[in-house]
Structure 1
């Protein structure tokens, strides 16, 4: 298969501050997302990318390694790097390409932090905190039932996760989510926007995952709550980037 030329004019590198490898990552990801580098296409060699983008070869290698770790490209011995997957269709309609890597990293971070917060919530929750979580869950149920007329439910989704952090009894979980609110909101907003233009089962799955987290907390099942929350956050990431 003939490899298409990298068209730097299609997606110019940002001049904003930030690590060079982040910008190379964004650039190559953008080429994949808009089809210049389709699935099964071979990327130009590292030295060619370095020369084209005006960076060192180690910078290119670091960016390609991260793309590999995200499951977007893979190396074939003696043949170079090949595109293995494109992000889910429509993902880039709602988030600029430059934000995609940080959205992914935020989801990974949330898996660890919110998983432990849910486990502690299962251990420490009382009737009042459990009632607050259930009230937010009920509000989300109503919005899901109403479909488009119910709105996106971004604030309610954020509140559900915050209320669980509060139920943990450890203020540092709450403060961590508060400090990351803007970054988390981008991912939640993106996910819920995508749910409006895709089959209804997508948003129903997310709400079922919320309910499993609540049920584990209600049952004071620490391990179950941790698993349910980690699964929910990882599945939310997959629904954006893998079309799950």
Structure 2
């Protein structure tokens, strides 16, 4: 099913085995294409859903799977689809048909695939836990600084609302709901998008962590949740961040708690319930996100109009009916409107989301800083000889004179993606995939606008040389410091613009329009 550990981790995170990014091509000198494959087979997604259950221990070695008919009913799929998913898992050595005993997960002794699978899932959860803790702090900070009083009061009420009750799945849903509420109330479409796209991973993360929690642990989490709600109601940033830190510490403690002994094999009802809620993103939802991202950066327009249904269908390799469903969802959200004279068009206030708004650019800068510094340190530790050869090749071309501005931006983005690949971080690459249009707009604006990075080619080459040199020397501390200096240079410039917005009397949106 999958060729590398990174592809396996990406599949567990995304819920699909087809990787939208050519991981092997990051270091080659060709156009970067992060376009998502939107047309994945239902059986493929179901196979990865069961794979994640095996990796997380919800289907432990030797566990018996429910009959095909019941899996099909729970997952709203045909039996042909279920059989295809099971055949893939059998072929890859994760499950086996046992005479007189049905289909079971293989034992650890009988498969070389289970240990790498479990390890890949565990690394995903550890990376997710760190990133979600960082994201929580960012969302809370943005919410308390930017949200109007009415929005903050609604968020406080929602956070203080009743939780779902006992059981491992219900508390995990509570943790996801809390984060979706805060991200939506923050008013940042970027934080809302990331949280929504990480929903599957967040469920898996907290389902795993809370499986070891007893009533006392859940009670402590609930107490800090109420403390967080009270702090939000008072707009008390210090108390809110303290409550958030306490919850993170409790969850980390649960992660180190061994699972209860004697739990036994999972009940069939529990397996079917997990399959029913573990389905990855539907095609309509994926298309909706894809088209919204293109609208955000102006890539979905043909003049004043959006690209036609026919052209969008051809672009994504789907039917016009699927595109029509996605556009209907965007109309309901107010992102596009139907105009009798001009056809379907984007709402002007929502176009050029990343590059037209300084707040969004600062958000991207903050997210990028966290991910890049972390990736550089790990790339120095884990990068392969092939990764290092790709980094040398990209850096060598960066040092050439007379490169076009477009080529410099392409190489810059490629260098950072290669570092992410070398780090083996599925979380980093998945977030890059989710935000790829916004990330591209961020790079374009940051590297061409004189007030930020434009015209600083010597500085950028020096930064990149320091980063790559430290990674090649496998010096994790130096790599992290060099990347922090590089990302900090952009963060500082965005902070200066934020402190003195009158530097841009016509607005960033007008500047972007002029460049386009």
TM-score, with normalisation over the residues of structure 2?
Answer: 0.27
Distance 2:186 2:368 in 1: 25
**1:158 partnered with 2:413:** yes
Matches within 5 A, 1:58-207: 98-142=356-400, 145-146=401-402, 149=404, 151=406, 153-195=408-450, 200=455, 202-207=456-461
Structure 1 spans left out of the alignment, 5+ residues: 1-17, 23-61, 66-93
Q: Residue by residue, what CA displacement relative to the aligned partner does 1:44-97 show, whole Å, maximum 9, x if unpaired?
A: xxxxxxxxxxxxxxxxxx8xx9xxxxxxxxxxxxxxxxxxxxxxxxxxxx9888
| CA distance 1:20–1:235, change in 2 (3 Å) | closer
Match of 2:54 in 1: none
Distance 1:199 1:101 in 2: 19
**Cα displacement (A) at 1:197:** 10
**Cα displacement (A) at 1:21:** 6.4
8 Å CA contact 1:122, 1:217 repeated in 2: yes
**Cα displacement (A) at 1:196:** 10
**Cα displacement (A) at 1:215:** 0.7
8 Å CA contact 1:137, 1:211 repeated in 2: yes
Match of 2:474 in 1: 220
Distance 1:203 1:98 in 2: 24
| CA distance 1:122–1:183, change in 2 (3 Å) | same
8 Å CA contact 2:381, 2:476 repeated in 1: yes
| CA distance 1:100–1:150, change in 2 (3 Å) | closer
Match of 2:492 in 1: 238
**Cα displacement (A) at 1:191:** 1.9
Distance 1:114 1:198 in 2: 17
Distance 2:373 2:393 in 1: 21
Distance 2:495 2:408 in 1: 20
The structure with the larger Rg is: 2
Matches within 5 A, 1:40-55: none
Distance 1:232 1:218 in 2: 17
Task: Specify which structure has the bigger relative contact order, considering alpha-carbon pairs within 8 angstroms and separated by 6 or more residues.
Answer: 1
8 Å CA contact 1:118, 1:164 repeated in 2: yes
TM-score, with normalisation over the residues of structure 1?
Answer: 0.54
SS state at 1:212 partner: helix
| CA distance 1:97–1:117, change in 2 (3 Å) | closer
**Cα displacement (A) at 1:119:** 0.6
**Cα displacement (A) at 1:129:** 0.4
Match of 1:85 in 2: none
SS state at 1:220 partner: coil
**1:208 partnered with 2:462:** yes
SS state at 1:146 partner: coil
Distance 2:464 2:429 in 1: 18
Distance 2:453 2:435 in 1: 27
**Cα displacement (A) at 1:236:** 2.1
